[in-house]
Amino acid sequence: MSRLGKQPVTIPAGVTVTFEDGLLTVVGPKGTLTRVIKSDVAILVADGQVTLTPGTTPDAPALWGTYAAHVRNMIKGVTEGFTKILEIEGVGYRAELKGTNLTLSVGFSHPVLLEVPAGITALVEKSVVTLTGADKDLLGQFAANVRKVKKPEPYKGKGIRYRGEFIIRKQGKKAA
């Protein structure tokens, strides 16, 4: 039994949630999010709450809590939004935003171009890249793709990391 799935999700003022033909749509001040929901979980939108009930299929208990978390994240995304902050550390490492492309110069012989997906806004200030958006899945995947370009290495700590991420440093060679 899912503890999160049992609890109904309250819909705040200014947000509309609709569920029709397996498609969940959440509309709010920061945008519109849609997600396909399998028929294993029944969703009922009534009285300012979203109630989820599992079906009888073997996958239903697992999807019950997952879909409850998705509904909560969608509602939070269209009201408050999500933010990921990436820090670039290293001599000569930098990022710039050119239109919808994020250009990363991180020690390669060429700059790396990443296109910022629709629905995500990027802001670059010195060595800090701030990504904001309403869709938590899309934001997290794009932030992971940016970090994957140059992961932080354990000796000097150079690379791209999330703000607050702790890198375990290695000692390196000792001088005799």
Ordered domains of the chain (ranges, CATH): 3-79 (3.90.930.12), 82-162 (3.90.930.12)
Q: pLDDT tens digit string along 148-169? A: 999 999 999 899 999 999 999 9
The pLDDT score that the predictor gives to residue 25 is 96
Q: In the chain, what are the helix, strand and coil shares in percent, each to the nearest 5?
A: 20, 40, 40
**pLDDT tens digits, 68-118:** 999 999 999 999 999 999 999 999 999 999 999 999 999 999 999 999 999
**Spatial distance between the Cα atoms of 104 and 96, rounded to a whole number of angstroms:** 7
Distance of CA 32 to the CA centre of its chain: 15
Q: Determine how many CB atoms are found less than 10 A away from the CB of residue 79.
A: 17
Q: Are 111 and 164 in contact (CB under 8 A)?
A: no
85 close to 128: Cβ distance less than 8 angstroms: yes
pLDDT surpassing 70 at residue 176: no
pTM: 0.91
Tell me, what's the pLDDT at 172?
84
Q: Say if residues 124 and 115 touch (Cβ distance below 8 Å).
A: no
Q: How far from the centroid of its chain's Cα atoms is residue 2's Cα?
A: 23
Q: Report, in angstroms and rounded to the nearest whole number, the Rg of the chain calculated over CA atoms.
A: 21
